[in-house]
């Protein structure tokens, strides 16, 4: 398995370009199933999860072509509405084909996604929402069997804010008979980007980005041209890297208004953050103040940035409380950071982080996507060499990670 070898202690300098958002690309790729003519996408990052999703869609009969960051998807000849376990088990977001398949074909057989390192991550709200729209759904042999002659518009209150749940139901509602109102909907920018793409495909959607989304069903959807929104979590990760190493980094294709909570916390930590419409610049002298973090749905502090900000707190001046309210097991990075000398105590869903003057390089193991990213950040400031194992987790969500870090002056190399 591949490893990353990182020599710590180098302030990052220079500029890089942020890729298209993984968590917008995945639902938008699945939205191709709703269209009777080709969907043309740009700014689709070359990520493992993107590749997995395209393979799953091709398995169903979607014709695809890819060049650089562009993907064209033609779902005019779908021959199966099944998402098999072998594919779903490697990527939970495969559940995002359920709503589109049911809406367009009236049938879907999707393997239940297993749990994952960060939590059980059930899909009960996806299922209940589709049932509210009239779908007949039962679970057998580990598969979701769903049927609906024609989905009907419904009012549905989601008792937890769920990002992919909101996306699945919004896609399903596009072709339902009548109007659907999703209450307590997720407001993440990736939900908004999906809605903007669906509207260009002919959908009638109001309120994306607020907690009440209204979808008026239409007969059919067509393809469109869509550029995927920039990846705010990738951007946030590099912002923390610049802050921790005491560098000066400019991120192109980054939108500050998608990262208000993260920028606020970096400024509280003593970091300078400036931005214009399409870029963010981060400057730091490496002297950081500890900042308390509490994750919550957008626009509050994103859970996908929790591990990264914990890395910053391990070397900041003071004691920080990091509370994770979204997932029940998203502290897998703690033990690995402790191997680098971090002082962290976990009490339930809160970690107490006492800043230390220096981390020491060591061999650590990646466990999930964002935990892996936080270990890269810690390695960039640890003295000496750090080896990060199982970095396939990183490849799921960070395009050209080594190239981008090397372009900023870091000493990073991938070994098998």
Q: Judge whether 346 and 323 are in contact, CB under 8 Å.
A: no
Q: Which is nearer to ligand EPZ, 144 or 224 (CB)?
A: 144
Name the catalytic one among 116, 174, 197, 224: 116
Q: Which is nearer to ligand EPZ, 32 or 284 (CB)?
A: 32
Residue of the chain from 31, 56, 197, 326 that contacts ligand EPZ (CB under 6 A): 326
Contact flag: residue 341 with ligand EPZ (CB under 6 A): no
* Token reading at 279: 């870029």
Determine the distance from the C-alpha atom of residue 18 to the mean position of all C-alpha atoms in its chain, rounded to a whole number. 14
Q: Which is nearer to ligand EPZ, 11 or 302 (CB)?
A: 302
Q: Which is nearer to ligand EPZ, 250 or 393 (CB)?
A: 393
Q: Which long-range contacts (CB under 8 A, 24 or more apart) does 412-416 make?
A: 412/4, 412/5, 412/6, 412/7, 412/376, 413/4, 413/5, 414/2, 414/3, 414/4, 414/5, 415/2, 415/3, 415/4, 415/5, 416/1, 416/2, 416/3
Torsions phi, psi for 64 (to 5 deg) = -125, 155
Contact flag: residue 15 with ligand EPZ (CB under 6 A): no
Distance separating alpha carbons of residues 79 and 58, to the nearest angstrom = 10
Distance separating alpha carbons of residues 388 and 9, to the nearest angstrom = 16
Min CB(187)–ligand EPZ separation in Å: 11
Contact flag: residue 369 with ligand EPZ (CB under 6 A): yes
Min CB(172)–ligand EPZ separation in Å: 14
Residue of the chain from 193, 304, 324, 336 that contacts ligand EPZ (CB under 6 A): 304
Min CB(162)–ligand EPZ separation in Å: 3
Residue of the chain from 35, 54, 110, 125 that contacts ligand EPZ (CB under 6 A): 125
Residue of the chain from 51, 84, 106, 119 that contacts ligand EPZ (CB under 6 A): 119
In the block, which residue shows the tokens 């929104």?
A: 229
Min CB(22)–ligand EPZ separation in Å: 6
Residues in CB range of 324: below 8 A, 6 or more apart: 295, 303, 306, 330, 331, 349, 350, 351
Distance separating alpha carbons of residues 370 and 23, to the nearest angstrom = 13
Min CB(120)–ligand EPZ separation in Å: 6
Distance separating alpha carbons of residues 365 and 386, to the nearest angstrom = 10
Min CB(304)–ligand EPZ separation in Å: 5
Contact flag: residue 217 with ligand EPZ (CB under 6 A): no
Min CB(93)–ligand EPZ separation in Å: 4
Q: Which is nearer to ligand EPZ, 12 or 163 (CB)?
A: 163
Q: Which is nearer to ligand EPZ, 19 or 281 (CB)?
A: 19
Torsions phi, psi for 160 (to 5 deg) = -130, 150
* Token reading at 46: 């070359």
Distance separating alpha carbons of residues 199 and 196, to the nearest angstrom = 5
Contact flag: residue 162 with ligand EPZ (CB under 6 A): yes
Contact flag: residue 124 with ligand EPZ (CB under 6 A): yes
Residue of the chain from 45, 163, 174, 305 that contacts ligand EPZ (CB under 6 A): 163
Give the total of residues touching ligand EPZ (CB under 6 A).
23
Residue of the chain from 123, 135, 256, 394 that contacts ligand EPZ (CB under 6 A): 123
Instruction: Give the footprint of ligand EPZ on residues 25-54 (CB under 6 A).
Output: 26
Contact flag: residue 192 with ligand EPZ (CB under 6 A): no
Name which of 284, 329, 283 is nearest 306 in CA terms.
Answer: 329
Is 116 considered catalytic here? yes
Distance separating alpha carbons of residues 365 and 339, to the nearest angstrom = 10
Alpha carbons within 13 angstroms on the beta-carbon side of residue 128 total: 14
Contact flag: residue 160 with ligand EPZ (CB under 6 A): yes
How would DSSP label each residue in 116-133? BTTB----HHHHHHHHHT
Contact flag: residue 87 with ligand EPZ (CB under 6 A): no
Contact flag: residue 93 with ligand EPZ (CB under 6 A): yes
Q: For the beta carbon of residue 243, count every other beta carbon within 10 angstroms.
A: 30
Q: Which residues bind ligand EPZ (CB under 6 A)?
A: 22-23, 26, 93, 119, 121-126, 160, 162-165, 303-304, 326-327, 369-370, 397
Residues tagged active-site: 116
């Amino acid at each position: 398995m591949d490893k990353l070898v990182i020599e710590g202690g180098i302030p990052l300098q220079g500029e890089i370009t942020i890729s298209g958002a993984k968590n917008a690309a995945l639902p938008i790729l699945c939205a191709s199933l709703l269209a009777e003519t080709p969907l043309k996408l740009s700014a689709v990052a070359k990520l493992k999860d993107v590749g997995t999703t395209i393979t799953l869609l091709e398995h169903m009969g979607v014709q695809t072509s890819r060049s650089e960051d562009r993907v064209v998807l033609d779902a005019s000849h779908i021959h199966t509405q099944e998402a098999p376990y072998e594919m779903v088990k490697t990527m939970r977001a495969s559940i995002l084909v359920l709503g589109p398949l049911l809406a367009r074909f009236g049938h879907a057989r999707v393997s239940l996604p297993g749990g994952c390192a960060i939590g059980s991550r059930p899909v009960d709200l996806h299922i209940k929402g589709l049932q509210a729209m009239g779908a007949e759904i039962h679970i057998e042999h580990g598969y979701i069997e769903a049927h609906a002659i024609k989905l009907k518009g419904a009012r549905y209150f989601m008792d937890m804010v769920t990002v992919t749940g909101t996306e699945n139901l919004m896609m399903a509602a596009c072709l339902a008979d009548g109007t659907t109102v999703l209450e307590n909907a997720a407001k993440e920018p990736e939900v908004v980007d999906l809605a903007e793409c669906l509207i260009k495909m002919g959908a009638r959607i109001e309120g994306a980005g607020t907690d009440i989304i209204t979808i008026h069903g239409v007969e059919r959807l067509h393809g469109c041209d869509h550029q995927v929104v920039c990846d705010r979590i990738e951007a946030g990760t590099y912002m923390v890297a610049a802050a921790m190493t005491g560098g000066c980094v400019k991120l192109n294709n980054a939108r500050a208004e998608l990262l208000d909570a993260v920028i606020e916390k970096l400024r509280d930590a003593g970091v300078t953050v400036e931005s214009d419409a399409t870029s963010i610049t981060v400057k730091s002298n490496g002297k950081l103040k500890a900042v308390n973090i509490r994750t919550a749905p957008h626009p509050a502090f994103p859970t996908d940035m929790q591990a990264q900000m914990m890395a910053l707190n391990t070397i900041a001046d003071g004691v920080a409380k990091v509370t994770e309210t979204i997932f029940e097991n998203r502290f897998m990075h703690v033990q690995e950071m402790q191997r680098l000398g971090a002082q962290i105590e976990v009490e339930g869903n809160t970690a107490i982080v006492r800043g230390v003057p220096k981390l020491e390089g060591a061999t650590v193991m990646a466990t999930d996507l964002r935990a892996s990213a936080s270990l890269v950040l810690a390695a960039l400031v640890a003295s000496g060499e750090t080896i990060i194992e199982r970095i396939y987790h990183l490849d799921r969500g960070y395009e050209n990670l080594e190239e981008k870090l090397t372009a900023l002056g870091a000493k990073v190399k991938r070994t098998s």
